[in-house]
């Protein structure tokens, strides 16, 4: 019985590590998005992709930047909770 429990905990640890690595990758990508948006000139246009489609709509740069920062903060919080 103890070997089964050990195997389960080892599998759980591997799954948790995979989830943590994937979340870390997404956090790095989101950091890049935030940095790129932060460094854009004021007169540059920003487009946001419509969910689940290939259609892009013009969006306000500040709103997009704000939502990206919120998403990054949420990802960081989730990463710390793991």
Domains of the chain (ranges, CATH numbers): 24-81 (1.10.287.370)
Q: What pTM did the predictor assign?
A: 0.78
Whether the per-residue pLDDT at 2 is higher than 60: the answer is no
Residue 1: the pLDDT is: 47
Q: Cα 77–73–34 angle (5° rounding)?
A: 145
Least Cα distance to 35 among 27, 24, 45, 23 occurs for 27
Using one digit for the tens of pLDDT, what is the confidence trace for 19-78? Answer: 999 999 999 999 999 999 999 998 999 999 999 999 999 999 999 999 999 999 999 999
Give the position of tokens 């640890």: 13
């Amino acid at each position: 019985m103890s070997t089964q429990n050990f195997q389960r905990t080892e599998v759980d640890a591997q799954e948790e590590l995979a989830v943590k690595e994937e979340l870390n990758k997404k956090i790095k990508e989101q950091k890049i998005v935030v940095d790129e948006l932060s460094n854009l000139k004021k007169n540059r246009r920003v487009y946001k992709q419509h969910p689940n489609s290939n259609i892009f709509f013009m969006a306000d740069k500040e709103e997009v930047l704000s939502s990206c920062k919120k998403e990054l903060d949420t990802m960081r919080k989730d990463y710390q909770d793991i």
